[in-house]
Amino acid sequence: MRYFLNRFGFLVLSLWAAITLNFILPRLMPGNPAQAMIAKQAGNINPAALKAIEEQLGLSNGPLWQQYFQYLGNLLTGHWGASFQYFPTPVVSIIATSLPWTIALLGVVTIIAVVVGTLIGILIAWRRGGTADNVIPVATMFGQAIPTFWLGLILIYFFGFVHHWFPLAHGYGDDVTPGLNGPFLASAIYHSILPAVVVFVGSISGWIVGMRNNMITTLGEDYVVFAEAKGVPKRRLILSYAARNALLPQLTSVAIALSSIIGGQILIEQVFSYPGIGYGLTNAVASEDYPLIQGMFLIIAVTALVINFIVDMLYGRLDPRVRRRGRRE
């Protein structure tokens, strides 16, 4: 319980930090660019909505603390303002249409990458000192250094432009209607294969190296050595004795890697014009749609923080030592 409260406290603290950052940034910048944008929009937006947007972006004259509490209140009640670009569509409904795309791609691919990467890591540790053990670390270093968005460009060029095997962009074809119908889902999956491959390649090397290192550490532990000395078969030794314990640090890595995975996905969505949150964010920045920028950043931050919290909870369940100490080191 103490562990739960501790992690929950951190979730609240980090959420508050993200929200406050969102509040301070537009007010901190000299010559607020949002102001110029609002002046441009003055004709197309009704005065009341404009005033609300001004308040949200720090252009009203009230004292700062008052603005702050108003801002917090609006956030909590779901009043995230309206987008400039798609006026009067509320920011919240734009987010609601793009979030499922991002979560689906991010979730499915990350889970596959973690599982496959971990298995490969175990396999390499099994055959310590073999060719794979020498080649794969170097290959993964190169894999980690490749900019994922560039990998996306290369795949689009090769599989999309040269060979026409996969669509070049977008989340689904023009000939289907979004919704829970077969043709749409098939089209969406077909469109998401290339982006998924890029996200997968971009993150798998970290899991392989992480698991390999964890395995090598655990294989050196006394209890593993003892088990080996008393003649436990190799398969059992690797899987039941070493891998089970080497898995725990891997879970911590999920939490740490998350922020870079999400960052990578923003770029990949942009490359593929994939209709998720990342693409929405970069588009909103390109068209200086400040209410939408704020909303998109907030939802990305909230997603990252909540997943991090869930991982922490899982960790606490799996490792009783952590729960007792009340904090993850």
Partner 1 sequence: MTVVAVDVAKSRAKRATRRRNSALRQFFRNPKALAGVVLFGMFLVVAVFAPAIAPYNPTSTAFGMLQPPSHAHWFGTTSLGQDVFSQFIWGTRTTLIVGVGAGLLSTVIAILIGVTAGYVGGIVDSILNALCNIFLVMPGLALLIIIESYVHNSTPYMNGLIIALTGWAWGARVMRSMALTIASRDYIAAARLSGMSTLRIIVFEIVPNMTSVIASNVMYACLAAVLAESGLAYLGFENVASTSWGTMLYWATQNSALMSGAWWWFVPPGLGIALLGTSFALMNFGIDQVTNPRLRTSRRRRQVDKLLRELRANQSEVHSDGRDARSGASD
Q: How far is the CB of 1 from partner 1 (least distance, A)?
A: 21
Count of residues engaged in binding partner 1, rule: CB under 8 A: 70
Stretch that binds partner 1, among 109-117, 185-193, 232-240, 251-259 (CB under 8 A): 251-259
Q: Which residue has the tokens 């209890």?
A: 223
Please identify which residue in 275, 304, 315, 316 interacts with partner 1, judged by CB under 8 A. Answer: 304
Q: Which is nearer to partner 1, 187 or 294 (CB)?
A: 294
Please identify which residue in 150, 165, 190, 223 interacts with partner 1, judged by CB under 8 A. Answer: 150
Please identify which residue in 64, 96, 256, 314 interacts with partner 1, judged by CB under 8 A. Answer: 256
Please identify which residue in 255, 280, 315, 323 interacts with partner 1, judged by CB under 8 A. Answer: 255
Name 82's bridge partners.
90
**What are the backbone dihedrals phi and psi of residue 68, each rounded to the nearest 5 degrees, phi first?**
-65, -45
**CA neighbours closer than 13 Å in the CB half-sphere of residue 228:** 14
Stretch that binds partner 1, among 12-20, 39-47, 177-185, 193-201 (CB under 8 A): 12-20
Please identify which residue in 50, 104, 137, 200 interacts with partner 1, judged by CB under 8 A. Answer: 137
Please identify which residue in 110, 187, 253, 294 interacts with partner 1, judged by CB under 8 A. Answer: 294
Please identify which residue in 213, 245, 252, 273 interacts with partner 1, judged by CB under 8 A. Answer: 213
Residue 25 interacting with partner 1 (CB under 8 A):
yes
Residue 35 interacting with partner 1 (CB under 8 A):
no
Q: Which is nearer to partner 1, 127 or 189 (CB)?
A: 127
Residue 49 interacting with partner 1 (CB under 8 A):
no
Please identify which residue in 5, 8, 12, 17 interacts with partner 1, judged by CB under 8 A. Answer: 17
Applying the rule CB under 8 A, the residues between 79 and 108 that interact with partner 1 are: none
Six token digits for residue 327: 């904090």
**Contact of 138 with 144, CB cutoff 8 Å:** no
**Contact of 306 with 299, CB cutoff 8 Å:** no
Give the chain as a 3 state SS string.
CHHHHHHHHHHHHHHHHHHHHHHHHHHHCCCCHHHHHHHHHCCCCCHHHHHHHHHHCCCCCCCHHHHHHHHHHHHHCCCCCECCCCCCCEHHHHHHHHHHHHHHHHHHHHHHHHHHHHHHHHHHHHCCCCHHHHHHHHHHHHHHHCCHHHHHHHHHHHHHHHCCCCCCCCCCCCCCCCCCCHHHHHHHHHHHHHHHHHHHHHHHHHHHHHHHHHHHHHHCCHHHHHHHHCCCCHHHHHHHHHHHHHHHHHHHHHHHHHHHHHHHHHHHHHHHCCCCHHHHHHHHHHCCCHHHHHHHHHHHHHHHHHHHHHHHHHHHHHCHHHHHHCCCC
Please identify which residue in 6, 35, 85, 282 interacts with partner 1, judged by CB under 8 A. Answer: 282
Q: How far is the CB of 46 from partner 1 (least distance, A)?
A: 25
Residue 166 interacting with partner 1 (CB under 8 A):
no
Q: Which residues bind partner 1 (CB under 8 A)?
A: 10, 13-14, 17-18, 21-22, 25-26, 28-29, 32-33, 128, 137-138, 141-142, 144-147, 149-151, 153-154, 156-157, 161-162, 168, 213, 216-217, 219-220, 222, 225, 228-229, 255-256, 258-260, 262-264, 266-267, 270-271, 278, 281-282, 285-286, 288, 290, 293-294, 296-297, 300-301, 304-305, 308, 329
